[in-house]
């Protein structure tokens, strides 16, 4: 809880309402448990003084995709180091 906030703030641990109907909740639960899909937050926005959350279903990356991304990151890191070294005049 934020120490400098007013004494009238809400309880951060209060239960939250999930505004989905029962069939939607069951469908999302089954897909995350059976198929191993993830339920990431796609975006959050304010509407009439409330925070709305847009959810999505998605699969994780395969090992080959992860290796490619790690390789790209390593190459970008090396490039950035060389550029920084060049700019310093070494």
Residue 30 has a pLDDT of 92
Strand pairing category for 50-55 and 41-47:
antiparallel
Residue 90 has a pLDDT of 64
- The closest of 4, 23, 1 to 13, measured between CA atoms, is 1
Tens-digit pLDDT profile for residues 38-90? 999 999 999 998 888 899 999 887 778 888 899 999 999 999 999 999 988 76
**What is d(CA 76, CA 82) in angstroms, rounded to the nearest whole number?**
10
Residue 60 has a pLDDT of 80
Q: How many CB atoms lie within 10 A of CB 65?
A: 10
- The closest of 31, 33, 53 to 43, measured between CA atoms, is 53
Q: Quickly state the pLDDT bin for 2 (edges 50, 70, 90).
A: low
Tens-digit pLDDT profile for residues 7-37? 677 777 878 777 789 999 999 999 999 888 8
């Amino acid at each position: 809880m934020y120490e400098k906030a007013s004494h009238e703030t809400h309880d951060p641990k209060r239960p939250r309402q999930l505004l989905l109907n029962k069939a939607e909740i069951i469908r999302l639960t089954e897909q995350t448990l059976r198929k191993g899909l993830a339920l990431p937050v796609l975006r959050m926005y304010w509407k009439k003084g409330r925070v709305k959350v847009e959810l999505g279903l998605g699969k994780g990356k395969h090992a080959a995709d992860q290796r490619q991304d790690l390789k790209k990151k390593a190459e970008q890191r090396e490039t950035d180091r060389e550029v920084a070294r060049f700019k310093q005049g070494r």
